[in-house]
Amino acid sequence: MGSKLFLITIPYLLVLVLVLTTLSTQCLAGDLASHKPVSPEILCKSFPDPPYCISVLPNNTSNIYDYGRFSIKKSLSLSVKFLNLIHRYLSGLSVLSTAAVRALEDCQLLASLNTEFLLSSFETVNATNTTLSPFHADRLQTLLSAVITNLQTCGDGLQTTASAWGVYNELSVPLTNDTKLSSVSLALFTKAWVPKRNLAWQPTGRQRVSRLGKMHLHMSSRTRKIYESFSRRNLLQTTEDEVSVYDILVVSQDGSGNYTTINDAVTAAPTSSNGTNGYFLIYIAAGVYEEYVSIPSNKTYLMMIGDGINQTVITGNHSVADNWTTFSSATFSVVASNFIAVGITFRNTAGAIKNQAVAVRNGADLSTFYLCSMEGYQDTLYAHSLRQFYRECDIYGTVDFIFGNAAVVLQNCNLYPRQPIKGQFNAITAQGRTDLNQNTGTSIHNCTITAASDLASSNFTVQTYLGRPWKMYSRTVYMQTFMDSLINPAGWHVWNDTFALSTLYYAEYNNSGPGSNTTNRVTWPGYHVINATDAVNFTVSTFLMGDSWLPQTGVPYTGGLISCF
């Protein structure tokens, strides 16, 4: 894995160096004289780490746009250096343990993504000295938020891998410096280019009707015949609206399709699609696929459709107990933007005894999972980063089984806490926000929380909580969700003593069921029972800006709060 990533990375870095050299000689766009100059001391006052912010910015008075460009460009330069440093470690594979190599390979992938995110961000801010449109500002704030998350994930993987401690000690300084600088970049971008939202505007709670009905197919006659031979009425023929699909590959274990494995179909799928012609569809016929599937960043606008939950199953059993990192333990992982999965079960069968074992790891921007099932125990769904939407999915797990630092909404989903190993308690969420300016958090809207059959049969002797704070600014909201009696009256659990209790943001709004009573909830400074005005900020239309990208997916969604009459 390491050598393959390097072969891709080197030409990319050569191009990147040329781009950076060119950009450094360009004149900044716009009339800078019209912007008020400010000293770093004044500007950094409200930032997370003022002394570091002051130390890293140029020691001269300038405007916030200049500072922002300087910081993002410097972050990009450090990201390239860090990526080269990771490669140097991986080039000496013989002296590293398997677990350490896997942790470094995670870092290599994450650092490579960061160079892409920072280059895209710099190209945008270098071209304007005015606030961006809400859509474009949200996109860049999302990318810069993900840069920090990727650095944190790299460090976590190295730090928690015993055989990688030596490497972590050597990489901890560049990781810390990169993270601090990325935090400054995010703060400057948020202050300069992000428009203030009009929070008085409230999206409608009207249901968006599914457009996963009649596919608009731009494909050869042969492929069309293959497509039309599917019995797809249960998933696709729900309305007369259309979703554009320009071509299709069929995966079937009996040899009747184009491929017998999912990975072969992913390899054959087109790269770097911009979505102009719609999605490329991989249809996965019913069967149990024992594969570890990874959708790389260049497989954009890819749609996967199975034959339904428990019919099309992708399964694996990697776990931290077997020397995988949490990040690399995933049965199914995706980082390609605009990904859609429909009607598939994703499993990690390592079991509760193997600790962290991910079924789905999602780091794909504008990604959607619909009518899917994620089955595992600890760390089932790793909603790692960027913007994600889950609709009518079933999610099973025990400890922290929905975790990560994406901006994610789960809507109309079923959450099934399971029976953990002796001595454990269940925590449904463990959200990982580490920076106040990250636009991330977990929003659980109109879902149902009931015990899985194994937990139900135990008479709830195991305690189940709504979540616990994995990172300093952990943010999770439950809205209009049914909570059965398995939920502990306190609702939420500590991570470690008093860690993050005053900096987290946990909230509940208008939930129902015997577990929803907030009378005996925790009294932490960061816990809130909120009203509709606050809750609307965590709806699909506001939190994910879903109206700008979800309609083209064909997946149904409710943009705002559900009206109660």
Task: Exactly one of 156, 178, 400, 435 is catalytic; name it.
Answer: 400
Judge whether 213 and 554 are in contact, CB under 8 Å.
yes
d(CA 197, CA 195): 6
Q: In the structure, how many helices (H) and strands (E) does the chain have?
A: 13, 29
**Residue type present at position 274:** N
Residue 19, both tokens: 């781009």
- Residue 280 contacts by C-beta under 8 Å, 6 or more apart in sequence? 245, 246, 247, 248, 249, 269, 270, 273, 301, 302, 303
Buried b (16+ CB within 10 A) or exposed e, 419-453: bbeeebebbbbbbbbbbbbbbbbbbbbbbbbbbbe
d(CA 547, CA 545): 6
3-state SS class at 379: coil
Burial class from Cβ neighbours inside 10 Å (0-12, 13-18, 19+) for residue 290 reads middle
Judge whether 76 and 122 are in contact, CB under 8 Å.
yes
**Residue type present at position 54:** I
What are the residues facing 492 on neighbouring strands? Answer: 467
Query: CA nearest 294: which of 248, 238, 242, 332?
Result: 332
d(CA 522, CA 528): 9
Judge whether 348 and 380 are in contact, CB under 8 Å.
yes
To 5 degrees, how large is the angle CA 25–CA 29–CA 32?
Answer: 110
For the chain, what is the largest distance between any 2 Cα atoms, rounded to a whole number of angstroms? Answer: 70
Judge whether 335 and 298 are in contact, CB under 8 Å.
no
**Residue type present at position 270:** P
**Residue type present at position 98:** T
What are the residues facing 293 on neighbouring strands? Answer: 332
3-state helix, strand, coil in the chain (%, to 5): 35, 20, 40
Answer yes or no: 49 catalytic: no
Radius of gyration of the chain (CA): 23
Residue 373, both tokens: 């099932």
- Residue 455 contacts by C-beta under 8 Å, 6 or more apart in sequence? 417, 418, 419, 426, 462, 464, 486
What are the residues facing 345 on neighbouring strands? Answer: 313, 373
d(CA 57, CA 49): 13
**CB-side exposure of 283: number of CA atoms within 13 Å?**
22
Residue 120, both tokens: 């895209």
d(CA 40, CA 11): 37
Show which residues are catalytic.
400
